[in-house]
Amino acid sequence: MYKFKFGRVAQTLALALLLGLLAACGGRDEIKKGTSEVVDVPSSYDITVAADKDGQFDFDGATLAAEDLRGHIRYLNENGRTVHTLLLKPGEKEKIKNTHVGALAGMARDLHITAYVQDNDGHLKIIKVVE
């Protein structure tokens, strides 16, 4: 006959919970790895977007996916309003996450723009793309 051991189940559950907490805290400083402090702060930016839910961006009140924002920048470049600088700020309800920074780094690399991030602490950083 099989005996149910409550102590073993509780230990396993506690270990799983601890590992989950450690994994959640592990990516906390990832946003700082691909950025550096800004020395020359631009007086204005061509486009300013805010972080929105699910890795999306808030641009002038519209929620855009990364591909939509990329398409809008291409559209502006093709129509003579060249975009050179882009600023990402924390949203009203959403903090900047690694998905936002990753998408912005891809745009900076592909579209040859300078991307700035005002991190969740209020510090201004520039995204450095290393190829």
The predicted-structure confidence for 68-83, as pLDDT tens digits, reads as follows 999 999 999 999 999 9
Helix 98-111 to helix 66-78 angle, to the nearest 10 degrees? 30
In a domain, 25, yes or no: no
Confidence of residue 14 (pLDDT cuts 50, 70, 90): low
- The answer to whether residue 20 is domain-embedded is no
In the chain, the number of structural domains is 1
> Is 52 domain-assigned?
yes
Strands (E) in the chain, as ranges, are 35-37, 47-51, 57-59, 62-64, 85-89, 114-118, 124-127
Output the pTM of the full model.
Answer: 0.68
> Taking residues 12-37, what's their average pLDDT?
52
Residue range of the domain that includes 43: 32-127
What does the mean pLDDT of the chain come to? 79
For residue 44, give every residue at least 6 positions away whose Cβ sits within 8 Å of its Cβ, in sequence order, or none: 85
